[in-house]
């Protein structure tokens, strides 16, 4: 059985980009994360210790990405995916990262990656 725990539209102000200005002026970056897990134990026990604590995962992602300056969206997505897979219950993860307003006339640009343990 594989269920999905997700974090949708997490906006984090951080440094991301290859242009010099992007490395000195933080910008909003949007994260959407889907973690494949088995929620059977959590559903049966109603205990957070049997679940993926999405609040803790979110806090740790924020700490990770605000402590580092990334040049490529691809690298950022891979680091976030690896970080999510370190959570013991997560078997697979899909990470979508968008840079709103990065291109003129486009709502956003970004990348989606999928990783498994």
List, in order of start, the domains of the chain with CATH numbers: 3-116 (3.30.1130.10)
CB atoms near residue 20 (< 10 Å): 8
Rounded Cα distance, 45 and 75, in Å = 37
Could you tell me the pLDDT band of residue 102, with boundaries at 50, 70 and 90?
confident
Q: Looking at residue 68, what is its pLDDT?
A: 92
Mean pLDDT of 56-70: 95
Q: What is the DSSP string of 40-104?
A: HHHHHH--GGGS--HHHHHHHHHHHHHSS-BS-HHHHHHHHHHHHHTSTT--EEEEEEEEETSST
pLDDT of residue 87 exceeding 90: no
- How far lies 77's CA from each of 51, 59, 92, 114, in Å? 23, 16, 14, 9
Active site residues: 99
Instruction: Taking residues 59-66, report their average pLDDT.
Output: 96
* pLDDT higher than threshold 70 for residue 24: yes
Whose tokens are 């679940």? That residue is 51
Is the model's pLDDT at 5 over the cut of 70? yes
pLDDT in the model for residue 34: 98
In percent, the amount of the chain with pLDDT more than 70 equals: 99
Tell me the whole-structure pTM to 2 decimals: 0.92
């Amino acid at each position: 059985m594989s269920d999905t725990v997700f974090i949708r539209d997490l906006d984090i102000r951080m440094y991301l980009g290859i242009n010099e200005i992007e490395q000195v002026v933080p910008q909003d970056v949007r994260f959407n994360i889907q973690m494949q897990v088995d929620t059977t134990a959590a559903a049966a026990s109603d205990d957070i210790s049997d679940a993926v604590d999405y609040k803790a995962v979110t806090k740790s992602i924020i700490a990770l990405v605000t402590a580092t300056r990334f040049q490529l969206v691809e690298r950022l997505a891979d680091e976030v995916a690896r970080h999510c897979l370190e959570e013991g219950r997560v078997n697979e993860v899909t990470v979508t990262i968008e840079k709103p307003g990065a291109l003129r006339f486009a709502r956003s640009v970004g990348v989606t990656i999928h990783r498994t343990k």
